[in-house]
Structure 1
Amino acid sequence: MKAGQQGRSLQSGSSLVSLYLAPKNQSERFAFIAEWYDPNASLLRRYELLYYPADGSVEMHDVKNRRTFLKRTKYEDLRLEDLFIGNKVNVFSRQLLLVDYGDQYTARQLGSRKEKTLALIKPDAISKAGEIIEMINKSGFTVTKLRMVMLSRKEAMDFHADHHSRPFYNELIQFITSGPVIAMEILRDDAICEWKRLLGPANSGQARSDAPGSIRALFGTDGIRNAAHGSDSFASAAREMELFFPSSGGCGPANTAKFTNCTCCIIKPHAISEGLLGKILIAIRDACFEISAIQMFNMDRVNVEEFYEVYKGVVPEYNEMVTEICSGSCVAIEIQQTNPTKTFREFCGPADPVQYFFKILDN
């Protein structure tokens, strides 16, 4: 390979053929295809994103124009564990969607065992959501999607279609529709198997005997009220995640936001990436606040600037505030209690009661 060819990419048909040298030792790098929506031009731009784990540097190339967009630059806010297909990452204030691997080496190294599966916290364990999410984080999972919903009877029947002939089917449907559930898409190597292991046996009594440290042993009651659910195969995971997180752009089951007597708490990207979501939920519950709705989301810079418009020109850290919110996944929580705005501010500092976030998510 000629020296001038190193660092270039060619478009061959619909596939991108990377011409970078094979990664070795300190020169190891991973390549991804990323998309970014340019609001000024109303265009979806595609880049090859290169990440060098040795020094945490990044490099970007414009796929269409076949030219360097960003020279190799150290960027400490991006981590190797953030790099997986379907994730949104922020690189110098640009929110990029990772849509494919850029070369076979990256696909082999990072994609060979990565799996997504559904983790569902059932109505009986909603009050223990913080502890369960803490266990999920400590077990090496990444929560990539999350929302609290209320299943209709039809949605519950679709979800439990495999159990239609079982004698406990009606009781199962009645239970799963008796209160809100928290659905999560979680990611890690061998996610389906590892999540089932963390759950423990389906019967909570058996779990306490055979797997005393499992979720069902700690928080379940019996074979139906067993705290949480996990998909048992690739096919089941795909079907169940489609119900809660439709790829077609639909809304899925209704969220549980009430929009009355409430305030809004936003858990920021740095707290999510540091694995603090579970601890924060526990602290909110222990302070006697009710979490009536919760959802993970990403916002682009335009929407964040609109949300923070009241602070523009008022606080000197306005730009930093905007950059932080659009730097990764956030979690919006609807908080309820008597005089929630005052009491929740006393609990954690200023927080604006904003319906805006949930309206965006429903649109």
Structure 2
Amino acid sequence: MPWNRSKIAVFDYFDKYIFLCEMYDEETDTMVELVLNFFPFDNSVQVIDPQKGKNLLRRVQLPTLTMEMLQIGNIVNIFAKLILIRDCAPITKRTLFNKMESTFAFIKPGPPSDNGKILTYIMKKGFRIVRMKNAKVTKELAMEIYQNCAGGEMLPIIIDYVTSGEVVALELVAPDAVKYFRSCLGATDPKKAAPGTLRYLYGHDTLRNVAHGCNTREDAAKIIDWFFGQENNRPKVPYQATLKDCTCCVIKPHVLIDGHLGNVIDRISTSDIFYISAMAMFSVKIHDAKEFFEIYKGVLPEYEEMCIHLSEGKCVALEVKCNKPNMNVVQEFRKFCGPRDPDLCRQLYPDSLRALYGKNYVHNAVHCTDLDEDAELEVEYFFKLLANMHD
């Protein structure tokens, strides 16, 4: 059913942002259209059912809701109700999303230890990462990407280089994202790149110059579909998970919102023990989260909250492997993450992931596999089951 915008026209536009949302109603087994008003002055929210013309939630302060969460396509948790943001009022769109667009970028083959730092740089520059995966680029795809970017004798060399290893593919969103990311990259030759640009900081030479960015919106849209689109319910570019000799790590939504995604990846990639063999960003629906965490149902009192949190934003799933063949990767990585309680971690294991980036039992930075026999199943859940169900 299309939105009846006349029903929200009576609201005052000047002291709030207005979002058009929907929520699943379990009692009626239907999707309910809602209007969410966010008042930045005091961080309060109001939820209205425009069909019934009444408040579903009277205006109340919600400190846990931040502007970073209020993005079109995100799911927000409003007092344990999961609300999907579908659109926003025109004035809200002009105010918050003026000139907002997507671009495509990938981190070129290089030291995996640089990937986390590069992701942190990108996020600090104001880009929102909405899709991400490590992948292998075929020569045919590389030719399509570079046909408008390079020519002459260098082209075969570039193609050979970008197909020689894994890349980290990204869809980035920001105002004027295509042009802005190109400026953040810097000159093709790192020696000529402006100080502070990606290539100045991490580039080696004209070939190994950190990353690629698209020149036009049209190229960006086309390559985003190539890397992240599906064909016959399967990803066009396969995920890299091997589902062998591994453990599962899920970087939780609050870590992405807080801007620490790159830091977590950096900690894992620069360790002497572990490496990331596959990673991808997912949106997890509530029923999928409940299925994934089902082992904790009736065991952990935070089970429901854990499921809700995994569903209220993007998460990043990792297949993690061990550099030492005789080491138990599941148990060693659990030690690396630390106990579930971040406060306990900070006292006993201050360098663990949960000590550094966790907040409480639910917002504790990462999920990691508990039992050896579950590791491959958990990795498979994301990289095989969810990958074939969602974009």
In the superposition, the TM-score normalised over structure 1's length comes to 0.86
Aligned residue in 2 for 1:362: 387
1:147 to 124, 133, 142: 133
List structure 1 segments (4+ residues) > 6 angstroms apart after TM superposition. Answer: none
Contact 1:118 1:240 in 2 (8 A): yes
* Higher mean C-alpha displacement, 169-178 vs 238-247: 238-247
Shift in alpha-carbon separation, 1:203–1:164, aligned structure 2, 3 A:
closer
Distance 1:250 1:16 in 2: 37
Give the 3-state SS of the residue equivalent to 1:169 in structure 2: helix
Aligned residue in 1 for 2:257: 273
Superposition deviation, residue 163 in structure 1: 4.3
Aligned residue in 2 for 1:114: 100
Superposition deviation, residue 42 in structure 1: 5.0
Contact 1:125 1:228 in 2 (8 A): no
1:19 aligns with 2:9: yes
Q: C-alpha deviations, 1:19-44, integer Å up to 9, x for none?
A: 234434xxx11112223445665544
* Higher mean C-alpha displacement, 351-360 vs 128-137: 351-360
Give the 3-state SS of the residue equivalent to 2:93 in structure 1: helix
Aligned residue in 1 for 2:363: none
Give the 3-state SS of the residue equivalent to 2:304 in structure 1: helix
1:76 aligns with 2:60: no
Give the 3-state SS of the residue equivalent to 1:162 in structure 2: coil
Contact 2:134 2:278 in 1 (8 A): yes
Distance 2:139 2:308 in 1: 41
Aligned residue in 1 for 2:204: 221
Alignment gaps of 5+ in structure 2? 340-367, 370-374
Aligned residue in 1 for 2:118: 132
Pairs within 5 Å for 1:149-188: 149-163=135-149, 165-188=151-174
Shift in alpha-carbon separation, 1:250–1:243, aligned structure 2, 3 A:
same
Shift in alpha-carbon separation, 1:105–1:311, aligned structure 2, 3 A:
same
1:260 aligns with 2:244: yes
Contact 1:95 1:300 in 2 (8 A): no
For 1:49, the aligned partner's letter is L
Aligned residue in 1 for 2:331: 342
Distance 2:216 2:4 in 1: 30
Distance 1:330 1:113 in 2: 26
Shift in alpha-carbon separation, 1:357–1:118, aligned structure 2, 3 A:
same
Superposition deviation, residue 267 in structure 1: 1.0
In the superposition, the TM-score normalised over structure 2's length comes to 0.80
Distance 1:178 1:147 in 2: 17
TM-align CA RMSD: 2.4
Q: C-alpha deviations, 1:55-95, integer Å up to 9, x for none?
A: 22222233555543333232222212322333333333344
Superposition deviation, residue 127 in structure 1: 3.1
Alignment gaps of 5+ in structure 1? 1-10
Contact 2:113 2:270 in 1 (8 A): no
Aligned residue in 2 for 1:332: 317
Aligned residue in 1 for 2:346: none
Contact 2:112 2:269 in 1 (8 A): no
Aligned residue in 2 for 1:316: 301
Superposition deviation, residue 221 in structure 1: 2.2
Shift in alpha-carbon separation, 1:42–1:223, aligned structure 2, 3 A:
farther
Q: Paired residues, what number?
A: 345
1:285 aligns with 2:285: no
Give the 3-state SS of the residue equivalent to 1:183 in structure 2: strand
Distance 1:169 1:88 in 2: 42
Distance 2:40 2:104 in 1: 29
Pairs within 5 Å for 1:294-309: 294-309=279-294
